[in-house]
Amino acid sequence: MSDLAKAVKDAVYARLSGQVGAPVYDTPPEGAVVPVVLIDSVSSAAPLAKGDALRLLTVSLVAFTQARSRDGLRAILAAIISRLDGYKPSAGTVTFGDFMAGDTSEETLGDGLTHVGRITFTVFAQ
């Protein structure tokens, strides 16, 4: 993992941990129970110019809940957006722009009780 990707994951974890109604993990521990939020992936676009240190990174988050309705999932997704959209972290040697909310999706799995929400954010960093 690149230093920028690690810095993004660390910033997301620090901003969301204990604040969104579910534990937040990069890698969930064995036996973790829902609700839970996973920092699923961080990807980086190619630099805009040769030698440019500025990168556009995309972080994907996945939330899981189990209930008869999606209300809990929607509350977690809303809390994530509230905490991250427009957030500009300061993290040592990495310079960040503002996190920008992107696509959000929800689905219910075949058991009718497990709900999955996905949301992406983009951020410039160098």
Going from N- to C-terminal start, the domains of the chain cover 3-125
CATH class of 3-125: alpha beta
How far is the C-alpha of 105 from the C-alpha of 121, rounded, in Å?
13
pLDDT at 49: 72
What confidence tier does 15 reach under pLDDT thresholds 50, 70, 90? very high
Strand order in the sheet with 24-25: 24-25, 36-44, 55-66, 114-125, 100-108
Which has the higher per-residue pLDDT, 47 or 3?
3
Over residues 43-94, the pLDDT tens digits come to: 998 777 777 778 899 999 999 999 999 999 999 999 999 999 999 998 678 8
pLDDT at 91: 67
